[in-house]
Structure 1
Amino acid sequence: MSTQEGAQEKIGLVLLTGAGLDSRIWSKVVDGLDYPHLMANYPRREDSIESRNKLSLDEYVTHVKRQVDEWGSRRFVIVAHSLGGVIALRLASELNDRLAGYISVAAAVPKNGGSFLSILPFPKRILISTILRIIGTKPPESVIRAGLCSDLSAAQAAEIINGFTPEAVRVYTDRSNVSLPMVPTLYVKLTKDKEFSPSLQNKMISNLSPQWVRSLDTGHLPMLSDPDGLRAILGEFMANVR
């Protein structure tokens, strides 16, 4: 067997971002991990907001699945962050014969038949639904700074705010009928998260029923505020996946 063939046999990582974020946000985490990795992109990032807003959850999943199919690793672990959990669960269902593990990093885990909005407490669900209809999916700068960027440096926060790409409304509202992945699962809880509160994360942990829960003392973007800590958790999980 050649070295290249051996590398293709190695279990890889498919990394999905949260809303509005560039896939390169994972770069500092995967740097130093000795596993193939795919930092997946969401569809039509260069198109106008109006054009992109017509996309469905199905189209997001299809776009990511195409990238996975074109990638070299046959078996992989999905790592999902925030809103990316909704896409990741669908992807896991469609590629379950290749799935070796599943990791949620403060990620959404709707119950079967639910949407991203369904995970929110009722009053906030109604509020966010109204906001999506009126102003779309890009929060004001002050909200991004207080939520996504609560523990980031000024330079990191500016990069997130300036690079934020609004997602399609239907990624938040489309319902999905999928079962939980029947593979080793891990939930990474972020104890200082201002975007996904610890109580909301506890609800997601209950929905996922993971074999393991690990905590990081960070805000919503540990891949920037503590990439070493997140890399160590991913590496530990990967070392035990077969």
Structure 2
Amino acid sequence: MKKIKLIQLALVACIFILSSCSSDDKQPENPKNYVLVHGAWQAPFVWQEVKANLEKQGNKVIVVELPGHGDDHTSPGAITLDVYKQKVIDAISTIDGKVILVGHSLGGMIISSVAETMPSKIEKLVYVAAYLPVSGQTLKELADTDRDSQLGAEGALIFDTTAYTVGVKPELIVNLFIQDGTPEIQNLVVKNYRIEPLIPFINPVTLTEQNFGSVKKVYIKTLQDHVVSPYLQNKMISTGKVDAVYEINTGHSPFLSQPKELSSILTKLAAN
């Protein structure tokens, strides 16, 4: 009798433990390969919490460090959009099977170009507050159409055509990129800020319906964005033949201000 009671108690304990597990820790039935691409004036550090969340669920995740960012000190004059593209292609080439390719901000230009080059390797393109171009467009041309972007305000950007760089006024960094973050996160963004290579902003993309057009596209709108405004996001969604749209109520850097929610969206869109 005592043995039966012990078995019953053990079963109850197991049920309690299983039911108390977070849904975020639930292993996906079909683990995915994610490749995450950061945007301008940022680096791989911005994706680290999202990466950890996705890996906890059994997925494989690669965060690309773009040349001229983070710990990479490639000369800005040697960096083009094609250089960025090749770095992402190299990362994807290390993975067996297809990938969910995620780009933030400037990263949208890069992942679009990658999809044109290797569409058969891309399961989905995911644009997180990202530039979604049509063929022939440059990032600068797209950004110039954003009537509500605070990044486009007079004097916000500092150009150095001799050094091939573009910077942001230091006092504007927090408000532009992470106005909704904690003080600790805001300090992290400021601490890791670096001036940006200029040439990729004026390199056009060439996209075809046969290649780029064949890849499924998902857009994650950031509703409080001061850099790529909701106005421009909606405009790009309407012209970009997007298959699905998700929303997150954050500024330009949801991976820092709401990493858990963004991770949840990335998991959800992978299953749909």
TM-score band, normalised by shorter chain: 0.7 to 0.9
CA separation of 1:36/1:226 partners in 2, compared to 1, >3 Å: closer, same or farther?
same
Structure 1 residue 20 and structure 2 residue 41: aligned? yes
Q: Using the TM superposition, give the Cα deviation of residue 131 of structure 1 relative to its aligned residue in structure 2, in angstroms.
A: 4.4
| 2:167 paired residue among 138, 156, 161 | 138
Is 2:138 the counterpart of 1:115? yes
Q: Determine if contact 1:103/1:187 at 8 Å carries over to the other structure.
A: yes
Q: Does the CA-based 8 Å contact 2:67-2:73 persist in structure 1? A: no
Which residue pairs with 2:246 in the alignment? Answer: 214
**Given the two structures, how large is their TM-score scaled by the length of structure 2?**
0.77
Please say if residues 16 and 39 of structure 1, whose CA atoms lie closer than 8 Å, have aligned partners that are also in contact. Answer: yes
- Between the aligned partners of 2:158 and 2:185, the Cα distance in structure 1 is 26
Using the TM superposition, give the Cα deviation of residue 73 of structure 1 relative to its aligned residue in structure 2, in angstroms: 3.2
Aligned to 2:27: none
Residue 166 in structure 1 maps to residue 226 in structure 2: no
Equivalent position SS for 1:93: helix
Aligned residue for 1:97?
Answer: 120
Q: Is the contact between residue 158 and residue 168 of structure 2 (CA under 8 Å) also seen in structure 1?
A: no
The 2-side partners of 1:196 and 1:213 are apart by: 16
Distance in 1, matches of 2:45 and 2:137, equals 29
Amino acid corresponding to residue 112 of structure 1 in structure 2: S
Q: CA deviation at 1:67?
A: 2.1
Which one is further off, 27-36 or 89-98?
Answer: 27-36
Normalising by the residue count of structure 1, what TM-score does the alignment of the two structures yield?
Answer: 0.86
Gaps of 5+ in 1: 1-8
Which AA in structure 2 matches 1:18? G
Letter of the 1:42 partner, please give it.
L
* 1:208 counterpart letter in structure 2: G
**Residues matched between the structures, number:** 230
Give the partner amino acid of 1:38: I
Identity %: 25
Point out where structure 2 has 5 or more consecutive residues left out of the alignment: 1-29
User: Larger Rg: 1 or 2?
Assistant: 2
What secondary structure sits across from 2:78 in the alignment?
coil
TM-superposed deviation, 1:172: 0.5
